[in-house]
Structure 1
Amino acid sequence: MIRTPSVPRALLPLPAAAGLLLVTACGGPAGEESGARDVTVAMAPADRATGVAPGSPVALRVTGGQGTLADVSVTDQRGQRLDGSLSADGRSWTSVPATRPSSTYTLAYTAKSADGSRRNGSGTVTTAAPEKPNKLELRPGNGATVGVAQPVSVLFDHRVGDAEKVDIERNLRVETSPRTEGSWGWVKDSGGHDRIDWRPRDFWKPGTKVSLKGEIAGLPSGQGRYFARNYATSFTIGENRVVTVDVAGHRMAVTEGGKAVASYPISAGSDTYPTRGGTHVVLAKNAKETMKSATVGLGDAYPSLPTTSVIHLTSSGTFIHAADWNADQIGAANTSHGCVGMLSSDARKLFDRVLIGDPVIVKNTRNTEITEPGNGFGAWQMDWPAWKKRSALKG
């Protein structure tokens, strides 16, 4: 099993005045055990602080005496624990991960003096509600079975600041079984939204179990926005199915487990509108769809064209679909506006066979343009070194 690490924040220095509370073992009468009276503890934010910025850590530090901290516990109003990291000398503790918005955290801890005596302390901290949350969408959906080219994909509602990308990426953990090498890469989707995809170095091994845990509640995303909660999804990799479109040969081949299982005649994009080359990923499937040229920047070339067995390859309008109106050209010439047309009987067979996430490799096309990686799931348009460079952590 491999995971992309969630790197804890470093222990932060506590402020000298504002936002800091000094107590003798925190709280006087709250802890009446003998000893530990010379130990003072600083808490930040201060006890009973409200309106604290989401994402702010909760921190404790011994500031007087020769004591250490022990048995630190922080829980929110739902009883969920906020974990933390104790320094090597035992004199400071900082919460990890970040605090959530609209939450009240209750702290309980013990300060221990040099002679072993102890004294208890407690406090509360309340975070502010996020005025501008940033939500996200995860793909594939939880519990899905997908093809061997499917990336883990996180789409953000609002722009993510460059300064925030490192911390966000560090708190997105991908776990796989069996072990799979992969990397995150930041892209812009076709609507201009920020997206981060995790793709394996090579196609997934069939049967691989994949999970994503986004421990990002309270993290800032830039422009004053925060993430209000954590996210998670898990899915399974299906059969090793590969669809290969030979544009020049007017044929499509389908393999499963490396063995040929189907071959179909096709008509791809004309010389004027050549089909995009390279490795695409099945994005979506619609049994029936009406295609409109204006939506893909082709004016009124085909104002309204009903068709069936539609398989989406890019967000910009590269599809595989039934095209019986072009039956005399299928298997003989490439005459489309960039899509891959098939006889309806063949298109239905392919539609029923393929999964979301299956790779579709288009070769021998006149289109030498590299499709942007955010145009559909285009991570496979790039080689491995180039893809890793899109990580905020630089691979």
Structure 2
Amino acid sequence: MLPKRALLFASVLGAATLALTSCSTGGTGENTPTTTAEKPAASVTIDEAGATGASPVTPVVVRADHGELGDVSVVNTETSRAVSGELDESASTWTSTEPLGYGSTYEVVAHALGDNGKQTEQRGTITTVTPRAQAEPNLIPGPAAVADTGVGVGQPISFQFTQPVTDKAAVEKQLSVVSEPAQEGGWYWIDDQNVHYRPKEYWQPGTTLTVSAKVYGVDFGNGVYGASDRTETYHVHDSWTAKADGATAQMAIFHNGQQVRTMPISMGKDETPTHVGTHVISDKQASYTMDSCTYGVCQGDPDYYRSEERWSLRISNDGEFVHENPNSVGAQGSTNVSHGCINLNAENAQWFFERFGLGDVVEVTNSGGPQLPVWDLYGDWSLSWQDWQAGSALH
């Protein structure tokens, strides 16, 4: 027989067991607990939000997590002009598709519908950099000047910036010349504002050149930024080259590699010799006033001159031309008597003028003069290919 305390414990234990059994039956009954996880709201971020001094070419990007973007607006707060953009296929990212302006503030407003079915709004502002100055990428030769004629096989392509370039590497990365057919070429910085592109060898006749400067928004250094992008196309015409020999006082003319004519010439006298080297024609005028003061030899100097000349083609920036000179006809073919120009008689000068143009080549040998400097407009061919490549900021 159990003690009373044992009987009481057994009674309580039995009741607990019975209660546990009754609670475990009918698992789907009304007493079963349930939990439902709430879906997240959309999270919207604006890249560069709050930025000042932002690059105008860095796209505005708006992103949505846990939802889809609806309307997105990027508006210039001063002009109220909206910036265009595109939404990706997943509706999770919006990206602007045009550059911003300099020194401008843009208000960004974006809405997104979250996975929880609720709408979220996000706002932000972006302020772009204000340049101290802007540099335009001017092209030489001007495309309009050669639109009808094309350029010769010796023509370098020159960008002349309207402000000095401090970060030449940053700018050069945005410059390109694409030749068709493809030909090897490279850039050379003449100075802080002029950079030239030339091929390793003369251009092939019939070449098409697509020239681009994608410099808008590019930091040139010292507070200067690119003012605009530019893309132009040039066409290379037939090959016309002249070989002027000071020793023989003759100039041989070649068309597409075949000699077609020889002309008697008179080049620079001993005191004013014609530069040796490859010259490229940069201008042509049927009538032209030649004034030595344009390159520093002015009135009072015994070498000063001013005269009206015909059939003149400029071959350097220090007063060297190929042109008619009736006063030196007696010396042409025998003696060099000019101030540095290549003199021809009337018939040969007109024939030469009618066939040669911008970018065509005059190679001078045995003149007794110094090498044409690389900086003398188109002295580009005075450098070896190795030295030319060394003038690149990316070398």
After TM superposition, is the score higher than 0.5? yes
- Structure 1 residues 182, 108: CA separation in 2 closer, same or farther (over 3 Å shift)? farther
Q: Partners in 1 of 2:75 and 2:141 — Cα distance? A: 32
Alignment pair present for 1:181 and 2:196: no
Q: Partners in 1 of 2:284 and 2:335 — Cα distance? A: 25
- Structure 1 residues 142, 114: CA separation in 2 closer, same or farther (over 3 Å shift)? farther
Deviates more, 1:330-339 or 1:93-102: 93-102
Residue by residue, what CA displacement relative to the aligned partner does 1:240-269 show, whole Å, maximum 9, x if unpaired? Answer: 111111111101111111111221110001
Residue by residue, what CA displacement relative to the aligned partner does 1:197-226 show, whole Å, maximum 9, x if unpaired? Answer: 111111111111111121111222233222
Q: Partners in 2 of 1:371 and 1:94 — Cα distance? A: 52
Alignment pair present for 1:253 and 2:252: yes
1:273 counterpart letter in structure 2: T
Structure 2 unaligned segments of length 5 or more: list them.
1-37
- Structure 1 residues 320, 157: CA separation in 2 closer, same or farther (over 3 Å shift)? same
One of 315, 318, 324 as aligned partner of 1:316: 318
1:178 counterpart letter in structure 2: P
Structure 1 residue 141, shift from structure 2 partner: 2.8
TM-score normalised to structure 1 length: 0.74
1:286 counterpart letter in structure 2: Q
- Structure 1 residues 364, 121: CA separation in 2 closer, same or farther (over 3 Å shift)? farther
Cross-structure match for 1:343: 345
Alignment of 1:1-395 (within 5 A): 37=41, 39=43, 41=45, 43-46=47-50, 52=53, 55=56, 57-58=58-59, 100-101=101-102, 125-127=126-128, 130-142=131-143, 144=147, 145-161=150-166, 164-188=167-191, 194-299=193-298, 300=301, 301-367=303-369, 369-394=370-395
Structure 1 residue 194, shift from structure 2 partner: 1.8
1:186 counterpart letter in structure 2: W
Q: Answer whether contact 1:57 1:96 (CA < 8 A) is retained.
A: no
TM-score normalised to structure 2 length: 0.74
Q: Secondary structure at the match of 1:44?
A: coil
Structure 1 residue 361, shift from structure 2 partner: 0.6
2:58 counterpart letter in structure 1: P
Q: Partners in 1 of 2:263 and 2:387 — Cα distance? A: 34
**Higher Cα Rg, which structure:** 2
Q: Secondary structure at the match of 2:242?
A: strand
Q: Secondary structure at the match of 1:175?
A: strand
Q: Partners in 1 of 2:176 and 2:111 — Cα distance? A: 32
1:127 counterpart letter in structure 2: T
Structure 1 residue 37, shift from structure 2 partner: 3.2
- Structure 1 residues 383, 94: CA separation in 2 closer, same or farther (over 3 Å shift)? farther
Q: Answer whether contact 2:84 2:96 (CA < 8 A) is retained.
A: no
- Structure 1 residues 364, 39: CA separation in 2 closer, same or farther (over 3 Å shift)? same
Structure 1 unaligned segments of length 5 or more: list them.
1-33
Identity over the aligned pairs, expressed in percent? 30
Q: Answer whether contact 1:54 1:226 (CA < 8 A) is retained.
A: no
Structure 1 residue 362, shift from structure 2 partner: 0.6
1:183 counterpart letter in structure 2: G
Q: Secondary structure at the match of 1:184?
A: strand
Structure 1 residue 344, shift from structure 2 partner: 2.1
Structure with more of its chain in helix, by fraction:
2
Aligned length: 346
Structure 1 residue 130, shift from structure 2 partner: 4.1
Structure 1 residue 55, shift from structure 2 partner: 4.8
Q: Secondary structure at the match of 1:146?
A: coil
